[in-house]
Amino acid sequence: MIKRLKDFSELVAFEHTIFSAPFMLIALLCASMQKNHSLWFGTSLLLLCALALIFARNFAMSVNRYVDRDIDSKNIRTKNRPSVDGRVSPKMMRILILGNALGFVVVSYFINTLAFSLSIPFLLILGFYSYMKRFSYLAHIVLGLSLGLAPIAGSIAVLGEIPLWCVALSLGVLFWVAGFDLLYSLQDMEFDKKEGLHSIPSIFGAKKTLLISRIFHLLTLIFWGIFLALFGCGEIAYVGLGLCAMILGYEQYLVSKDFAHIPKAFFVSNGYLGFVFLVMMILDLVME
């Protein structure tokens, strides 16, 4: 049983939850301050949002691994994934897809009416990403949109609406994720060319990909700055934005210096960024 759970965790890359979770929490906290003038929005809502996030991620990753298992079997970097080497069967992946989709819809029902109404459209966006690279290099943007739904969901859970500050926060997440996905995709540039897959690195080359990634990360900082301004954040939050800028700059430096640093830039730098921003936002909201 423990081995099976480890295989499932590897299949859905559960550790990648660190990318979206901090931004859902930022939206939850900001929405609570707007509505309740308090950081705390309730234990039950926190548990429901955590379940929704887990179900959504598990659904998205299960779809991705199921759809891509033929591609992954040809790629040296991915041929040992549980979806390829037989540790998790196609039948089990279909069960995971349906089970997590149902779990997400049910949890959304208990959050509020708007969350329930948008649960199916959200799932369609999350599942659509897995097909994009077969016909469009905009897959990086769709991946960014998928993670950008996390703060949107947080705002909906507390407010039952999507304010402008949350849109700006989500757009920042979109370009942040798309930017680091471009760097990560450099590892598969030659493979994508060989297999006829659509990605920005395979179509535009490494040099232009690095430039586009930098533009995306610049847009990230701009949209997060707009978010802070719209919400009326204080100096501590802007210090947090400055720290995020430093982390993104370090990530870009690592990859431009040597593509062998891509895994470190992807997991370490981006793993810290969300939590740094979250901690600084909490401090700012408390001090205000």
Q: What CATH number does the domain containing 125 carry?
A: 1.10.357.140
Structure-token pair, residue 284 = 């700012």
Q: In this predicted structure, what is the pLDDT of residue 255?
A: 92
Single-letter code of the amino acid located at 174: L
- Cβ(125)–Cβ(142) under 8 Å? yes
In this structure, what is the dihedral angle of CA atoms 128, 86, 80, 78, given to the nearest 10 degrees?
-20
Q: What is the pTM of this model?
A: 0.95
233: left (phi > 0), else alpha (psi -120 to 50), else beta?
Answer: beta
Contact predicate 281/26, CB 8 Å = yes
97-103 own/partner pairs: CB under 8 Å, 24+ apart: 97/59, 97/62, 97/63, 97/66, 100/55, 100/56, 100/58, 100/59, 100/62, 101/55, 101/59, 103/51, 103/55
User: Which has the closest alpha carbon to 186: 164, 159, 204, 161?
Assistant: 204
According to the model, what pLDDT value does residue 209 have?
97
Q: How far apart are CA 232 and CA 205, in angstroms?
A: 41
SS3 label, residue 134: coil
* C-alpha torsion sign, points 252, 254, 258, 263: negative
**Both ends of the chain: CA-CA distance in Å?**
48
pLDDT 10s digit of each residue in the chain, 288 long?
777 778 788 887 777 777 889 999 999 999 999 999 999 999 999 999 999 999 999 999 999 999 999 999 999 989 999 999 989 999 999 999 999 999 999 999 999 999 999 999 999 999 999 899 999 999 999 999 999 999 999 999 999 999 999 999 999 999 999 999 999 999 999 999 999 999 999 999 999 999 999 999 999 999 999 999 999 999 999 999 999 999 999 999 999 988 888 887 777 788 899 999 999 999 999 987
Number of domains, the chain: 1
According to the model, what pLDDT value does residue 172 have? 98
- Measured CA to CA, the distance from residue 264 to residue 251 in angstroms comes to 9
Q: Look at residue 1 in the predicted model and tell me its pLDDT.
A: 73
SS3 196: coil
Alpha helices by DSSP H, listed for 68-163, are 69-72, 82-85, 90-111, 113-132, 139-159
Domain boundaries, position 38? 2-287
